Amino acid sequence: MASIFEVLAEPSRREILDLLRTGERPVNDLVDQLRLTQPTVSKHLKVLRGAGLVEVRQDAQRRWYRLRLEPLAELDTWLEPYRRLWTSSLDALEQHLDTMED
């Protein structure tokens, strides 16, 4: 199985996740928004499901997809030390700029 980083490296998959942030959507809505073919969107959704990033709900003939936050929380935990480094660098820049004359 691909790592979450490999899954998210594909721009269309990130775009699908962006669309699902506002709530669940049927496949056809994703196809329309992404301007990709239905088979292509389905392949991306299969990969996202395999990584646990989305889940599907069947409603008659329609499949509704929604975001799963748990894997993203794990990713956020992994990114936290890097976020602290970035914040530290920005704080240092702010201090440097505050000491400069106008």
Q: What was the pLDDT predicted at 1?
A: 58
Would you say residue 54 has pLDDT above 70? yes
Closest by alpha carbon to 36, among 19, 21, 22, 52?
19
Average pLDDT value over all residues in the chain: 90
Would you say residue 78 has pLDDT above 70? yes
Name residues whose C-beta falls within 8 Å of residue 55's C-beta, 6 or more positions apart in sequence.
49, 65, 66, 68
Distance, in Å, from the CA atom of 86 to the CA atom of 98, rounded to the nearest integer, reads 18
The torsion angles phi and psi of 101, rounded to 5 degrees, stand at -75, 150
- Give pLDDT tens digits for 23-46: 999 999 999 999 999 999 999 999
**From 7-16, 36-45, 68-77, 93-102, the region with the lowest mean pLDDT:** 93-102
Q: How far apart are the first and last CA of the chain?
A: 55
